[in-house]
Structure 1
Amino acid sequence: MYLRKTQRRNGDGSVVRYLQLANNRRLNGTTQAEVLVNLGREDKLDVAALRRLVASINRYLGDEDDVTLPLGTETGPLTVEQARPFGAIWLLDQLWHTLEVDKALAKVLGPRRFRTDIERIIFALVANRAVAPSSKLAAAEWITHTVAIPGLDHADKDQAMRAMDLLAGADAQSEVQQAVFFAAANLLNLEVDLILFDSTSTYFERDGEPEPDTDDEPGLRRFGHSKDHRRDLPQIVIGLAVTREGIPVRCWVWPGNTNDMTVLEQVKDDLRDWRLGRVVTVVDSGFSSRENMAYLQRAGGHYICGVKMRDGSAESREAMSRQGRYLQVRDNLRVKEVKLAADQGRRWIICHNPIEAERDQARRQVQLQAITAELDRIAAARTAHAAKAKAKAAQQGKKKTPRPSDAPHRKAECALRDHPSLGRWLKQHPTTGRLSIDAAKVKAEANYDGKYLIATSDPDLSPEDIALGYKNLLQAEAAFRTMKTTLDLRPVYHRLDERIVAHVLLCWLALLLIRVAERRTGQTWPSINRELGRVHQVTLSGPAGRLQQTTKLTPSQAQLYKDCAVALPPKMSGLQPAE
């Protein structure tokens, strides 16, 4: 390792020399100079101190000293100050710049000046969600004491909260999401003709709803239908739009008591402002009201939506009664288009999954066996109870056996009838009040095994494309699973609405970065994070100065960076000669 000089001649004939930290590397039988760090102009550097520092580095690495030092110059040994995880952070930072999130934030922040680098704080919080999710206080300590963040040495809780407040501004969140979306679409060549939308809820670790300041601003934390099965806690509703490749393009936050049927108009309007052109929106059956579907068709848009088949609607009954042959799309998917006389404005597609049909049949059989066993147990207990009462009456010499009370057995039958999953297969006889399996209900449900119904307004898509487009809705569900597990979206501890929104936006940005990494590498983020988490940045110091050195990459680690099309971490950085 040695100091390397380069020079540039100005127009006036003067020469400017620059210093670089370089290392000789043998490649294909020839020795080539590899520049590790560009140090700057020679006339603005302490060259003697740099020479002493390079000599210390060579001594630490066990290499021969390539730098000629003045006689009697003492360099001293280098000591290790600290070693911090760096590999996964470096990958996220490179993707952050590639997707131009930093430029989007700079545009939003404008000419305002801050004592801290707000963009770096926001990136550090996003990286924390992806690498080691924690609270904002713990995240500040993680940034300061645990990991190496490029361009950021330390952070505290107040700086994190300030950055979140700026990110959650109405103009900021819209502009950032739009800028990031178009940068990602151009970079990844995303197909944005199909937008998948779904919603979920996440809860707070608080006892109740906050008291509203005014009737017009009730706040986000509200009780509602919890998709996390936590009706005892207040919550918010989160909407997410993703592409067919699973890349999240936008997110929304609504109060916890928001009905799914009421949000599609805002989703449609917000995406229309981006002027995406002809877009087909894919939604689940929870959004399939006629008003929503009509709104999605505005401005030339179209929709693909799921329709509930077991709700007894006229459309589902008519669709199931139509005859026709199924078209084999894949091993586990067959489709059939049917026409309904009652609705000429929409196309209807029945999808059949043979594998799922077998699962439905197996689950139903298990439930029926459990019901039969319970009914037999109740009947046996009733018979035993009656026999015991008859024997007791005979022992007492009574000529007429009193009718035994069957209150315990009635209670068991009522519990079985009201069971959330088993009660649907039972019927109660009007005269005796006894329970039995409803054979007609079982036969009717068997017709729906492995089937689901799709409606669309697009006149050009083939039934195969419609079915596959709807199956892509699984990408939105997978995104929510990742946000709730890998990124620890829930539970939320923030109180202010703007910080609640910022928390969701940080999770959305983290999801965007890890989805890009997964798409480029073909590996899951936990495996990428685990492998690159072994790459550390080591800080070395000595009498001549200090620097950061990155641990040597393994072939698998280098391949991950190569697959993501980002630069490898620098071998040496932060070179600081002693003053």
Structure 2
Amino acid sequence: MTIHAFSMGMYVRTIKRRNKDGSEVEYVQLAHNTRHPEKGYSRAEVVYSFGRRDQLDVAALKRLVSSLSRFISPEDIQDLEAQSAGLKFISSRPAGGALLLKGLWERIGIDRCLANALKHTEFKAPISDAIFAMVANRALAPSSKLAVEEWVAKDVHLDIEAPIKVQHLYRSMDFLLKNAEAIQEKVFWTTAQLLNLTVDLIFFDTTNTYFEMEDTNDSELLAFGKSKHKRDDLPQVTIGLAVTREGIPVRCWVLPGNQNDAKCVDTVQKDLNDWRLGNVIWAMDRGMTSEENRKNLQRTGGQYILGEKLRGPNVNEEALNRGGRFKKVNDNLHIKEVFVGEGSGRRRFVIAYNPEQAEHDKHVRARNLERIETELAALNKRSGKAYLKSKYALLAHRSMGRYLKELKSGKLTVDKAKIKQAEKLDGKYLLSTSDKSLSAEDIALGYKQLMEVERAFRTLKSTLSLRPVYHTKDDRIRSHVLLCWLALLLVRITELETGLSWPRVRAELERLYLGEFLHKDGRVLQYTELTQNQRNLFKKLNIKLPAKIKPIG
């Protein structure tokens, strides 16, 4: 009888039976030892019989092993395999996420862009590897540049031979910034060609990120301004992002924190004009709707689709008040096209209406009106300074103040005219465009895609941890944003081609480990078995699967 024991308490054993004709038959069993309740000795108890060895269902056994392996860590699997091969298990690190990012990095040609830029330099440091390490860190485990050195050395496998030191990271950031224009343009055109991107419609928006410091140290970027994070007390920078209709970020800008959104347009337009994109239609949000911006966007033949303020200039009110029926595009989008003005001053508008949003707006307003009644009742019970303080706070309130008016007596009351006006705007948004060829449907649907920019900003700030920013010098801040942009580019391509969110892809691939073993002939690196989901991800991204075992070193 042969026994193969395992530390979990159960073991596989084989037993032989001799037939009358002298032949032997071997059986395979799963057993464990139990103690005799009276005599106290140990005895084998068969848990399951697999049958005759020469008639085993090998496929069923493989399925059983695969099922059991779900409860064993990658390190333990590697250790078991190593023991059977005479190897000593040294360590293991997650490698799947880095494999995917490296595959995209090379597929897009970012490595070649950096190599071309490095041709005429005398750098001996691993600049290209250091840049990839920082980009991968943003996508996989965002941390400070000081922490990246240890992360690369101990916590991930990036397939980088030369050790990455902190000084390499900072030199690489300086190199990246110096070559930012050429690298961004080259990466854009390579990506556009590779993915067959549509570059006739460019979406642009801005956000800002603040720095927890009091002194701006004479920075040209760091400045106090109106913060979208409600942190007007801290200095900030403005970040602009241009995105294609597929949601791929094509370029980023880092601008002074006190710069108005509208002032960004001229800089952005000039920069992208240098790329010779042809007839570009710009889609921008309500912060960009000034006469000057409209002229800038039409410079060199460009066109625009702009979100307009519902409670804006007279021309907007005139457009909203024009008669006509809405045309249903889909359940959540009804549109109406109107024109305002005559001759060269004639402007084209599209009014979009979302019934679902209208119901939401109605519900929110009803809730605010209930709250107003409660606040007014409480206000009338106060007097003196307490009354005045509460009164002016209520008038200034963002949600409730819009429905209030002050009578000659000084008393506050609900303004029914304002409520009636608000009801007319429920579920609506107003768009203007300079393009005469686009249909009203394309204008409305194109503008709805502006949310791709907003989604990109959310990814930058949450998944890729744009902040906190540990840099205070302008050049390092610009370089940090460039690294985040490169990470965002890889992330969005992954999401576009797999149809899955980056956190889900990352979680799946980070279960793929690379184990390190010591053999008498040297060092062996081996990946854990790829799951079907992992194989599908690599296939969708057109990335070659890794060989299970790397050569002995």
TM-score (norm 2): 0.83
Which residue pairs with 1:567 in the alignment? Answer: 544
DSSP 3-state at the match of 2:225: coil
**1:558 Cα offset (Å):** 1.1
Which residue pairs with 1:141 in the alignment? Answer: 150
**1:152 Cα offset (Å):** 3.6
**1:59 Cα offset (Å):** 8.9
Determine if the alignment matches structure 1 residue 201 to structure 2 residue 220: no
Distance 2:367 2:215 in 1: 40
**1:238 Cα offset (Å):** 0.5
Which residue pairs with 1:482 in the alignment? Answer: 459
Which residue pairs with 1:518 in the alignment? Answer: 495
Tell me which of 108, 117, 126 is aligned to 1:108. Answer: 117
**1:410 Cα offset (Å):** 4.4
DSSP 3-state at the match of 2:352: strand
Is this contact kept in 1: 2:82–2:517, CA < 8 A?
no
Which residue pairs with 2:367 in the alignment? Answer: 366
DSSP 3-state at the match of 1:197: strand
Which residue pairs with 1:281 in the alignment? Answer: 282
Which residue pairs with 1:322 in the alignment? Answer: 322
Which deviations, in whole Å up to 9, do the C-alpha atoms of 1:174-224 show, x marking residues without a partner? Answer: 1111111111111111011100000110111222211x3xxxxx5211111
Which residue pairs with 1:340 in the alignment? Answer: 340
Which residue pairs with 1:301 in the alignment? Answer: 302
Tell me which of 440, 443, 447 is aligned to 2:424. Answer: 447
DSSP 3-state at the match of 2:542: coil
Which residue pairs with 1:23 in the alignment? Answer: none
Structure 1 segments of 4+ aligned residues over 6 angstroms from their partners = none
Whichever residue aligns with residue 498 of structure 1, its letter is D
Distance 2:336 2:134 in 1: 48
Which deviations, in whole Å up to 9, do the C-alpha atoms of 1:268-313 show, x marking residues without a partner? Answer: 11111111111111111111111111111122211111111113x1
Distance 2:168 2:486 in 1: 19
Pair 59,475 (structure 1): closer, same or farther in 2 beyond 3 Å? closer
Is this contact kept in 2: 1:120–1:152, CA < 8 A?
no
Determine if the alignment matches structure 1 residue 412 to structure 2 residue 390: yes
Which residue pairs with 1:331 in the alignment? Answer: 331
**1:151 Cα offset (Å):** 2.4
Distance 2:375 2:80 in 1: 80
Pair 528,130 (structure 1): closer, same or farther in 2 beyond 3 Å? same
**More moved, 295-304 vs 94-103:** 295-304
TM-score (norm 1): 0.79
Whichever residue aligns with residue 324 of structure 2, its letter is G
- Give the count of matched residue pairs: 475
Which deviations, in whole Å up to 9, do the C-alpha atoms of 1:293-340 show, x marking residues without a partner? Answer: 1111122211111111113x1111111221001111111011111111
**1:411 Cα offset (Å):** 4.0
Distance 1:59 1:332 in 2: 56
Distance 1:122 1:307 in 2: 40
Distance 2:473 2:385 in 1: 53
Distance 1:134 1:78 in 2: 34
Distance 1:59 1:345 in 2: 76
| Unaligned 5+ runs, structure 2 | 1-78
Tell me which of 510, 523, 533 is aligned to 1:556. Answer: 533
**1:153 Cα offset (Å):** 4.8
Using the aligned pairs only, state the percent identity: 46
**1:115 Cα offset (Å):** 2.6
| Equivalence map 1:26-65=2 (5 Å) | 60=82, 62=84
Determine if the alignment matches structure 1 residue 469 to structure 2 residue 466: no
Pair 362,152 (structure 1): closer, same or farther in 2 beyond 3 Å? farther
Whichever residue aligns with residue 185 of structure 1, its letter is A
DSSP 3-state at the match of 1:84: strand
**1:245 Cα offset (Å):** 0.7
Is this contact kept in 1: 2:126–2:164, CA < 8 A?
no
Distance 2:525 2:135 in 1: 24
Is this contact kept in 2: 1:205–1:492, CA < 8 A?
no
DSSP 3-state at the match of 1:447: helix
User: RMSD across aligned C-alpha pairs, in angstroms?
Assistant: 1.9
**1:572 Cα offset (Å):** 1.5
Tell me which of 470, 475, 479 is aligned to 1:502. Answer: 479
Is this contact kept in 1: 2:334–2:354, CA < 8 A?
yes
Which residue pairs with 2:21 in the alignment? Answer: none
